[in-house]
Amino acid sequence: MSDLITLTEAAALHIKDMMKQNEEEDAFLRVSVNGGGCSGLSYGMGFAHEIGESDTKLEQHGLTLLIDDESSSILKGTVIDYKESLMGGGFTIDNPNAIAACGCGSSFRTAVNAGKPEEC
């Protein structure tokens, strides 16, 4: 499952900083896909303290990532990066399964999963 999600070193360093700032150093990083957003599906990232029965556990750059079974097939091959620019920084998600995306960059759909589109 090492090709499920790739977390770049830049993203991992930024997440570790966020964990430290929020006193969440003992947490896992949960990456998920939820219904909603203007294109039908949206990405979710947050801190978790428990591993669910349907979670896949990955270790990358000193972080433990959790991905639930439902999100796994949609996220397969995804690269999560963190980029700085003159306008600030932010996470980028490159998902080869996304066939359409919204301008916000966090809403998408795949060929087999249209999700639940909502108003922007």
- The model carries a pTM of 0.80
User: Is residue 19 in a domain?
Assistant: yes
Helix (H, G, I), strand (E, B) or coil at 90: strand
pLDDT in tens, 35-78: 876 667 888 999 999 999 999 999 999 999 999 999 999 999 99
Domain count within the chain? 1
User: Is residue 119 in a domain?
Assistant: no
Provide the residue range defining the domain that includes 82: 5-94
User: Is residue 117 in a domain?
Assistant: no
Per-residue confidence band for 9, with pLDDT thresholds at 50, 70 and 90: very high
Helix (H, G, I), strand (E, B) or coil at 72: helix
Q: Are the beta carbons of 7 and 65 closer than 8 angstroms? A: yes
**The CATH number of the domain where 36 resides is what?**
2.60.300.12
